[in-house]
Amino acid sequence: MKILVCISHVPDTTSKINFTDNDTKFDTNGVQFVINPYDEFSLTRAMWFKEKQGATVTVVNVGNASTEPTLRKALAIGADDAIRVNAEPTDGFLVAKELAAVVKNGGYDLVLAGKESADYNGQMVPGMLASLVDFNFVNGCVGIEVDGSSASLTREIDGGDEKVSSTLPLVVAGQKGIVEEKDLRIPNMRGIMMARKKPLQVLEPTGAAAATQSQSFEKPAAKGAVSLVDNVDDLINLLHNEAKVI
CA separation for the pair 192, 32 (Å, rounded): 19
CB 13 within 8 A of CB 41: no
Cβ partners under 8 Å of residue 65, min gap 6: 84, 86
pLDDT attached to residue 77: 96
Going by their DSSP bridges, the two strands 170-174 and 136-147 should be labelled as parallel
Please count the residues of the chain.
246
pLDDT attached to residue 214: 87
Is the pLDDT at 224 greater than 90? The verdict is no
Predicted TM-score (pTM) of the model is 0.88
Average predicted confidence (pLDDT) for the chain: 93
Please write the tens of the pLDDT for every residue from 147-190: 999 999 999 999 899 999 999 999 999 999 999 999 999 999 99
Is the pLDDT at 244 greater than 90? The verdict is no
Q: What is the mean pLDDT of residues 53-82?
A: 97
pLDDT attached to residue 163: 96
Is the pLDDT at 227 greater than 80? The verdict is no
Residue 98: band (very low, low, confident or very high) from pLDDT cuts 50, 70, 90 = very high
> How far from chain centre, in Å, is Cα 133?
19
Q: What is the mean pLDDT of residues 29-46?
A: 95
